[in-house]
Amino acid sequence: MRIQPPTLTLLKEIPVSILDKFNLRGQVAVITGAGKGIGAGIARAFAEAGADVVIGARTENDLQAVAADVASLGRRAAIVPTDVLDFDQLQALADRAIAEFGRIDILVNNAGGFPPKPALQTTRKEFEGAFRFNVTTAFELSRICAPLMVESAGAGNILNISSIAGHKPTPCFAAYGTAKGALSLLTQELAQEFAPKIRVNAIAVGSTKTDALNTVLTPEVEQVMVDLTPMGRLGEVEDIALGALYLCSPAAAYVTGDVLGINGGLERLNMQMPRAWGGMG
């Protein structure tokens, strides 16, 4: 008697879950300013979404703590002590990513900042320093990493952490606001130039509870800021990390050149700062 071979049943292709669009499995992210605050929060979020991370910051102990969290999520973290103002160290950060993981898929330019300061008390050196810290460093690391992304992964994502101060003017933010405004425009310029291989986006962060904000935050100041925020609270690091995950994941595959506001609905900065000749802005 002839035995018939078993009938092969063709399975229908299983549709991809919408949540899978937020998955970063197999990807590698380079993140600056990753020892604390927003950078550390983004590193943890990316690791939870499946990415390995290369984390840079000036303080190695801070990086060790973040790396331990990443390991607890089952992912790997390469620690690279980095001063972003030293451009040789930026090159070393990118080189370590390739040496350790063989690829770069995501770059997050998070390092930056400058405290509120009256324009007439801000020196030329400080003004130029704010621009270098917030804009030139992001440009240089993007310039370094973009070719490596295309060579190693075929495509990539760059995310710049900007600020609402970059498009909502207020007293005492001439240096920081101008720098972040330039960073937002740089985001849009690079998005045009790097498309379609590399998407470039930014987040316009509002007042977010980090160590940097805590240096000026008293209960009285916090209450004023909360009162001036439509959503009735200050931002949390997780708010920014979730936005970063969206913009750097396949869920945002058709988004580039965008500056996403994550700031509680602010239409102006929620810090009361003095004008040069009296009054509050």
The residues assigned a catalytic role are: 176
Which H, E and C letters describe the chain, residue by residue?
CCCCCCCCCCCCCCCCCHHHHHCCCCCEEEEECCCCHHHHHHHHHHHHCCCEEEEEECCHHHHHHHHHHHHHCCCCEEEEECCCCCHHHHHHHHHHHHHHHCCCCEEEECCCCCCCCCHHHCCHHHHHHHHHHHHHHHHHHHHHHHHHHHHHHCCEEEEEEEEHHHCCCCCCCHHHHHHHHHHHHHHHHHHHHHCCCEEEEEEEECCECCHHHHCCCCHHHHHHHHHCCCCCCCECHHHHHHHHHHHHCHHHCCCCCCEEEECCCCCCCCCCCECCCCCEC
